[in-house]
Chains A and B, each alone.
Chain A
Amino acid sequence: MLNLIRLEFRKYRLARMLVRSLIVTLVLTALFAFFYFDHFLFENGIEGDGTTLFNTYTEAFSIIGTLVNIAYIVLGATLISRLIISEFRNKTIYLMFTYPVSRRKIIAAKLIIVAAWIFIGSMVSGGLIGGLMLISEMYVKVIPEPLSAAIIIRGFSMLIAGSVCSAGIGMIPLYFGMRKHSATATILSAVIVACLLNQNTHGFSLNQFIVIPLLTAIAGIIVVIITIRNINTVDIN
């Protein structure tokens, strides 16, 4: 299995994913900084309308989580489209499936890469942005709530839970993509799923109930199971 993963990296030059992740992290940091400093800038009479997006650390962490989750679910879909959908579209799957390697293992190797990328990416990006925020808090106090070790631990566990769920949710686009081997359907479904789960109206996000993302993640895992189960019997035409 490790060898199959290594070969995928070689085939698609996946080391370049690191560059993409870096860009994503930078953009997310900038976006968060915009929310974060909004109130601060208003108070100093520079800009903004004075409405704070968050008063507590929990709120701040949940915004970071939302940004990171949406970004990596969509990016995961682009990876699914590259690693799996495009093999069907370009018919290179003809080649892959005539190798003395189980079809299931080939697809599983690809999905492991996608899930791992979503999980590790969310963790690193989220951790980085959260860390930067905490450092910034030491100099400019934007969030009125006093900081404690318990808050940091809570934020960190939110991040882990969110990343695990994202890795599962990120598998849902596979279902829509495989139906007609369409890259557009893959990415579009990811955008829709990510936005539905993370829509933030008046501080009320579906994600706040951990149950809903958890159920969605389970749906993603079911998609994986069905896909891998069916792949052995399907005719490649």
Chain B
Amino acid sequence: MHLLQTSRLTKSVRGREIVSGINMQVKTGEIYGILGPNGAGKTTLMRMFTTLVKPTSGEIEIFGQNLASAPYDILKRMSSIIEFPVFYDKLTAIDNLELHCEYMGFYNKKAIHESLELVQLADVDTKPVREFSLGMKQRLGIARAITTRPELLILDEPINGLDPVGIREMRNLFYRLSKEYGMTLIISSHILGEMEQIADTICVVDKGKQIREVAMDEIRGMDTEYIEIQTSDRLKAVFVLEHHLKLPNFKLYGESMIRIYDLEIPQSELSRQLIMHDVPIESINRKKQSLEEYFMQLIGGSGLHA
């Protein structure tokens, strides 16, 4: 059962498609990351999930209901921060959260203090939000979003403007919200490193198009470690690999590069065999393909991005 699902979701503005044909499937309880460079359409996607922007075509289904036909039932059960958290900044943090609860139709006064504590903003009683630092506003925004105990939390670039310590705190918080409170989180970011650490599923978007939706377990489990050989006689090397070493799992790169993905054979044995068969070796290295490389490949491979 998917908590949020889109089918052929498209938004065009003045004839130009800024989001085109997105099919996303967010599972209940997971942290779902939307990854893409600036201007990829991440924010527009999230605005569509929160009814701020109406899709040109396609459907959004949340909690099994169509967003266009039952918006208020759905909005009651979710919270969001789009772009950056906004407040009535002459009011105090508590006032802002109380107003939020009133509009959401949520009446549990204790929840406000609990969520302020959760983001470590418990002692901000009398200060108007105007006087808060950016980091404090980010945390207050999250406190507000989680006060009503939403089932779905939509966060657009939530770590923007945070220092490294703040980023780590946020990451831990998101993890807790997902695992302890059972919330489903949709987070967007253009920073791969962040997504990699926190998301269960990543949807890569670029220029409004969905490049790939991939479960992190899947790519973490992929054979991304390999031995790279550089040789001037590639044919001979391939022959040795196939016939003498029985290693079929390799790929050729460029004129002289071979990547071997079978790592059962020790590197020393490999080089010994190659030298024994007179294969000239310029270099031999054990390497690891990073996720970053993988995603760059995805985005690069789409032909949309340099």
Contact = CB atoms under 8 A, between A and B. Distances in A.
A44 interface: no
A99 B76 CA distance: 7
A192 B282 CA distance: 83
Interface in B71-116: 71-73, 75-76, 80, 82-83, 86-91, 95, 99-100, 102-105
Contact of B51 (A13, A95, A97): A97
B165 interface: no
A11 B86 contact: no
Contacts of A42: none
Interface of A, secondary structure class, is loop
A98 B73 contact: no
B50 interface: yes
B47 interface: yes
Contacts of A99: 75, 103-104
A49 interface: no
Interface string A204-237: 0000000000000000000000000000010111
A161 B88 CA distance: 37
B53 A96 contact: no
B54 interface: yes
Contacts of B89: 90
B52 interface: yes
A95 B86 contact: yes
B155 to A, nearest CB: 13
B88 A11 contact: yes
Contacts of A11: 88, 91, 99
Contact of B47 (A95, A100, A236): A236
Contacts of B102: 3, 7
A7 to B, nearest CB: 6
A10 B51 contact: no
Nearest to A102: B72
Interface of B: 13, 47, 50-54, 71-73, 75-76, 80, 82-83, 86-91, 95, 99-100, 102-105
21 contacts: A3-B102, A7-B103, A10-B95, A13-B90, A90-B89, A91-B83, A97-B51, A98-B50, A98-B52, A98-B75, A99-B103, A99-B104, A100-B71, A100-B72, A100-B76, A100-B104, A100-B105, A101-B103, A235-B52, A235-B54, A236-B53
